[in-house]
Amino acid sequence: MNHIYSLLDVILPFEWLSYDFMKNAFLAVLLITPIFGILGTIIVNNRMAFFSDALGHGAFTGIAIGSVIGFIQPIWSAIIFSIGFSILITIIKNKTKTSTDTVIGVFSSAAIAIGLVLVTSGGYNYNSYLVGDLLSISPKEVGALFILALIIIVLWILFYNKVLLVSVNISLARSRGINTLGVELAFTAIIAVAVTIVIQWVGLLIINSLLVLPAAAARNVSSNARQYNVMAILISFVSGLIGLILSYYLDTATGATIVIISAFIYFITLILRKRFA
């Protein structure tokens, strides 16, 4: 890690990056924003913004359950719980005729309620999971993020085509021999894992914005998959970086500052939109 720190000192000799905790946060932004950007492209295409929000709630419940059980790290119980949660919602969504909104709403509210009851009964401090603190990330956790980012990028390259076809139209994808339920389950499980891991530093309240906003902005200014992915990564990273720097100087919550920047970019793209229609 020290090598990376000294490397950062050489190539980015800025005042805001002189502290180690800022270096860690910078590396985290470098890893989180691109993967959230690309995952977001399909979330927005599939109109799953509400769904990914529910996954955040599921992750919170998982962490609460883990804290209560106590004998394993909360994060592992959270990952297992949120994968199960995402699979359950996806299957019920596919099996019932009830509107997707309602199904997700029911699950999301139930999950957050269970989570809150558990943490309040145990007297745990749950504030950090609601708001999150990116500056508290440890070098070891940055390493874990690196592995997560690597896995997601590999999966993205391998399965993007299938995910894209399913997002265009399920029947069409099925007629091309794609196991659409499998793709859907795998995709939501990946989002669940990514959200669960990152929620500790970003917080339940705004994690969904990190997924949805950059992609929503990128969509306004792109007309094919390539532009869409590149723009989403770019917008996500730029707002992550600017948000981090601003939060350092203004002493504000990092995650929220990032979201404000990406919301700002979103509104700019909304104005530019007509040129790309």
Partner 1 sequence: MAEGNVRHRDNCDPGRKCCGYCCTQIRNFSVKIGKTQILHDINLHLHCGELTALIGPNGAGKSTLLKAILGEVKHEGTIVFAGSGGESTGKPMVGYVPQQLEFDTAAPVSVKNLFSACIGRKPAFQKTSPKVTDKILECLGRVQAEGLIDKRLGALSGGELQRVLLALALEPVPQLLLMDEPVSGVDRKGLEVFYDIVSRVREKYDLTIILVSHDLDLVKKHADRVVLLNKTVILNGPPDVVYSDKRLHETFGLSEFINSDE
Place of tokens 């599939």: 46
| Of 3 and 95, CB closest to partner 1 | 95
| CB-based burial, 187-214: b 16+ in 10 Å, e otherwise | bbbbbbbbbbbbbbbbbbbbbbbbbbbb
Interface of this chain with partner 1, residues 165 to 204, rule: CB under 8 A:
165, 167-169, 171-172, 174-176
* Cβ pair 196, 59 in contact under 8 A: yes
Query: Any residues with CB less than 8 A from the CB of 79 and at least 6 apart, and which?
Result: 62, 192, 193, 196, 197
93 binds partner 1 (CB under 8 A): no
**Interface with partner 1 in residues 230-259 (CB under 8 A):** 230
**Interacting residues of 176 by C-beta distance below 8 A, sequence separation 6+:** 165
Shortest CB 271 distance to partner 1, Å: 16
CB 201, min distance to partner 1, A? 27
Judged by CB under 8 A, does residue 223 bind partner 1? yes
In the bound state with partner 1, the residue whose beta carbon lies nearer, of 194 and 232, is 232
Measured CA distances, 199 to 13, 75, 214, 215 (Å)? 29, 10, 17, 19
Binding-site member from 229, 236, 254, 257 for partner 1 (CB under 8 A): 229
- Candidates 210, 245, 216; CA nearest to 231 is 216
Counting contacts by CB under 8 A, is residue 164 touching partner 1? Answer: yes
Among 71, 123, 125, 157, binds partner 1 (CB under 8 A): 157
**Nearest CA among 233, 228, 236 for reference residue 261:** 236
Q: How far from each other are the two terminal CA atoms of the chain, in whole angstroms?
A: 46
Among 6, 12, 47, 182, interactor with partner 1 by CB under 8 A: 47
Q: Residue 23 or 219: which CB sits closer to partner 1?
A: 219
Contact segment (CB under 8 A) with partner 1 among 61-69, 87-95, 124-132, 227-235 equals 227-235
- 156 is a contact residue toward partner 1 (CB under 8 A): yes
Angle between helices 207-220 and 254-272 (to 10 degrees): 20
97 touches partner 1 (CB under 8 A): no
**Interface with partner 1 (CB under 8 A), residue from 13, 71, 224, 251:** 224
The residues of the shown chain that bind partner 1, judged by CB under 8 A, are 45, 47, 156-158, 160-162, 164-165, 167-169, 171-172, 174-176, 218-219, 222-230, 277
